């Protein structure tokens, strides 16, 4: 890969990305995949098991960077398909709006959301998926939890970086925080 920005994919060289991460907040998307019943009520919350930015193996939501020149909707779709498989069939509206904005900081005490690599601003979405989900690439596993299980101490203890808080915010957004 060249040392210059590839304007077709938005990828930077490793050194350029590290330099930017040290000096500029990056834009990310977080997607909480959910299954819904016939009335649209959330019945299951999907969480990946993968290596987190801090090196731990953790439960987390779908997350990733928005590339240069990429629409937020396209970034959501790309990350959902990358992590859940090409037939997950996420239902992303034409005009997307996050339910919250999360700021990840290298210092875990700043916001409660932590990424040791950089300061990132993430647009967070609840995304219904209706297809067959098979974790791909970095994900070790995908487990579907009931809303009650998703916020249980057992599952929360498997999360790092504030993803447990993000799940609670997502469930509150859909009216299901017990």
Instruction: Encode pLDDT of 25-61 as tens digits.
Output: 999 999 999 999 999 999 999 999 998 877 889 999 9
Tens of pLDDT, residue by residue over 82-127, are: 999 989 999 998 889 999 999 999 998 999 999 999 999 999 999 9
β strands within the chain, DSSP E:
26-36, 42-51, 57-60, 62-65, 100-104, 120-128, 141-145
Residue 137 has pLDDT above 70, yes or no: no
**What single DSSP character describes residue 104?**
E
110 and 18 in contact (C-beta within 8 Å)? no
Of 54, 28, 26, the C-alpha closest to 124 is: 28
Question: What are the structural domains, with CATH classification, of the chain?
Answer: 25-173 (3.90.79.10)
Average pLDDT over residues 114-142: 90
Looking at every residue in the chain, the average pLDDT score rounds to 90
pLDDT grade for 10, boundaries at 50, 70 and 90: low
Q: What is the pLDDT of residue 104?
A: 96
Q: Which residues contact 115 (CB under 8 A, 6 or more apart)?
A: 53, 54, 104, 105, 106, 161
Q: What is the pLDDT of residue 125?
A: 98
Q: What is the pLDDT of residue 4?
A: 44
Tens of pLDDT, residue by residue over 32-42, are: 999 999 999 99
Q: What is the pLDDT of residue 9?
A: 55
**What single DSSP character describes residue 105?**
B
Distance CA 45, CA 111 (A): 24
Q: What is the pLDDT of residue 53?
A: 78
Average pLDDT over residues 128-154: 90
44 and 145 in contact (C-beta within 8 Å)? yes
Could you tell me the pTM of the whole model? 0.88
Q: What is the pLDDT of residue 2?
A: 41
């Amino acid at each position: 890969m060249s040392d210059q920005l590839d304007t077709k994919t938005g990828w930077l060289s490793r050194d350029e990305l590290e330099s930017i991460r040290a000096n500029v907040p990056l834009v990310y998307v977080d997607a909480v995949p959910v299954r819904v019943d016939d009335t649209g009520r959330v019945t299951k919350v999907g969480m990946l098991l993968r290596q987190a930015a801090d090196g731990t193996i953790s439960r987390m939501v779908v997350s990733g960077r928005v590339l240069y020149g990429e629409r937020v909707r396209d970034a959501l779709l790309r990350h959902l398909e990358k992590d859940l498989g090409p037939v997950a069939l996420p239902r992303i509206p034409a005009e997307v709006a996050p339910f919250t904005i999360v700021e990840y900081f290298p210092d875990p005490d700043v916001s409660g959301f932590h990424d040791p690599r950089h300061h990132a601003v993430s647009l967070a979405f609840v995304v219904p998926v209706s297809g067959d989900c098979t974790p791909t690439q970095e994900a070790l596993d995908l487990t579907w939890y009931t809303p009650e299980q998703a916020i249980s101490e057992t599952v929360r203890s498997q999360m790092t970086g504030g993803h447990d808080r993000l799940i609670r915010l997502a469930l509150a957004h859909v009216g299901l925080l017990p």
